[in-house]
Amino acid sequence: MSDSVISIVLLVAPVVITVAVCWIAVRRTRAEPRRLSNAYWLLVAVIFVAQTLAVLGLQDFGGYLLVIILSPLLMLCLTVFLILNGVVMLRRERPTIANLLSLITGIALLVIIVGTLPVILSGIPWLISLLIIALVLVGYFGFHFVAFLGYALLYPRLVAGRPADWVVVLGAGLGGGTRVTPLLASRIRTGMIEAARRNARLLVLSGGRGPDEQRSEAGAMAEWAISNGADPERVLLEDRSRNTLQNLRNTAELVPAGGQGLIVTSNYHTLRAAMLARKLGLRAQAAGAPTAGYYWPSAMIREFVAVLAEHKIAHLAIVIVVGGPLVALTIAAMLHG
């Protein structure tokens, strides 16, 4: 085979592969937006596009992209942001593990950043092994988080114009055990707006009575919705659920079979709610209500952890398969060095 033919093949092959990956990613996403696997297809498609542009002569583009992605400054900025956000969360919210996730993540990244150089210079095999394990975990879960976060932001835009026969608003805790909080009011308000915009016939308010609540969330939500203009004849209450899975399962028993629905929750919870609906076989997409900006980072990390937990065995196996040999090779190289 001549050099010119080889050059053409090397030039055309990346383009063909990139087009194929992009076609599959777009086709899968349009067919079923609620699949999390779409996130990985789209992220890989973006990477392939960047590489192909570099191969076609736009080296500067690929180089700049690589510098941005791998920039230690970017990692440091992210670390500082997460720590500052965690401090804000401490001041404005209860100091629970869920509310401290951004602070915990930021501190963990800071420890890795600050400790990398001293650990390498120490030359201690077991310590360097721990560092490699930490870096493998950061890289692995970082990739997953970028895919999850990017798709969580994209998903609501993919389903924004879809019709709905019914709208369900997911409950949240009541203030003082009796009153609708600003977060919950935002959900109800968004649910009413979406129901009107999509000509939905039913507005389902879903939420049972928690152990520290004096009434059901659904009852308080219905009272708020009707006092703010909702049609009482179109409002249904689902007041037995304790979590999102029960919210959706119980709602399915109230709404007409075969209809298309819309789940309204806080914007950070939209993608996972849609994924749960798909898991239950419920024909419903999801829309997000606005949430305070300072609350969003910790909430998104919490959602990400919840999604990971659903496939923890698979993730653990991948980390062991990928990271195990890498650590072993490093130790062997140091012992024979």
Name the residue ranges covered by the structural domains of the chain.
3-70, 74-157+310-335, 160-291
Mean pLDDT of 6-16: 68
Q: Kindly tell me if the per-residue pLDDT of 69 is higher than 60.
A: no
Q: Quickly state the pLDDT bin for 71 (edges 50, 70, 90).
A: low
pLDDT of residue 187: 95
> According to DSSP H, which parts of the chain are helical?
3-31, 37-55, 59-70, 72-92, 101-122, 125-158, 182-197, 217-227, 244-254, 270-280, 296-309, 312-335
Phi, psi of 216 (to 5 degrees): -75, 150
297-308: average pLDDT: 89
DSSP string over 28-86: HHHH-TT-THHHHHHHHHHHHHHHHHHHTT-HHHHHHHHHHHH-HHHHHHHHHHHHHHH
Tens digit of pLDDT for each residue in 17-64? 889 999 999 999 999 999 999 999 998 898 888 777 766 665 555 555
- What whole-number distance in Å separates Cα of residue 243 and Cα of residue 279? 15
Q: Which of 244, 228, 226, 249 is nearest to 236 (CA)?
A: 226
Residue with tokens 């659904």: 218
pLDDT digits (tens, 9 = 90+) for 243-302: 889 999 999 999 988 789 999 999 999 999 999 999 999 999 999 999 888 888 888 999
User: What pLDDT, on a 0 to 100 scale, did the predictor assign at position 337?
Assistant: 53
Superfamily (CATH H level) for 160-291: HUPs (3.40.50.620)
Mean pLDDT to the nearest integer, 199-220:
90
Nearest to 79 by CA among 123, 112, 37: 112
Greater pLDDT, 261 or 137: 261
pLDDT of amino acid 17: 87
pLDDT confidence of residue 267: 92
pLDDT for 60 equals 54
Contact yes or no for 310/287 (Cβ under 8 A): no
- The predicted structure's pLDDT at residue 318: 79
Mean pLDDT of the residues in the chain? 84
User: What are 269-272's contacts with CB under 8 Å, separation 24+?
Assistant: 269/170, 269/244, 269/299, 269/303, 270/152, 270/155, 270/156, 271/36, 271/148, 271/151, 271/152, 271/155, 271/303, 272/244, 272/303, 272/306, 272/307
**Residue bearing tokens 């698979």:** 314
Q: Are 326 and 132 in contact (CB under 8 A)?
A: yes
Top pLDDT among 89 and 185 is at 185
Average pLDDT, integer, range 148-174: 92
Angle between helices 72-92 and 59-70 (to 10 degrees): 40
Does the pLDDT of residue 309 top 90, yes or no?
no
pLDDT at 236: 93
